[in-house]
Amino acid sequence: MTKEELLAFLESNRSKLKYYTVYLNQKALEQFAIGYFLDSKSNKFLVYEVTERQSLIEIAFFKNEEEAIEEVYDIVKYRCRI
């Protein structure tokens, strides 16, 4: 899945996202954030989720961006029940 395909999916399901915010290639520490970014230490893409109490949970590391986007897609589908 490409970034454009994920953006199209998010746009078409905007009303179902509820209070979740999705960040692509950006680290955010706000409540109910889901996203990924390039970790400078490991030089891998880190997929994360931020909880209600603003705790960053590292879900997975990937070598390429497409795999990270696919994981974010799966998390959004699960959390938002799409």
Q: What are phi and psi of 64, to 5 degrees?
A: -125, 160
Instruction: Please check whether residue 82 is in contact with residue 13, taking contact to mean a CB–CB distance below 8 angstroms.
Output: yes
Contacts of residue 18, Cβ cutoff 8 Å, sequence gap at least 6: 80
How many CB atoms within 10 Å of residue 22? 21
Confidence at residue 45, expressed as pLDDT on a 0 to 100 scale = 98
Tokens of 12: 């078409």
Average pLDDT of the chain?
96
Would you call 69 helix, strand, or coil by DSSP?
A: helix
Confidence at residue 46, expressed as pLDDT on a 0 to 100 scale = 98
- What's the average model confidence in pLDDT over 17-41? 96
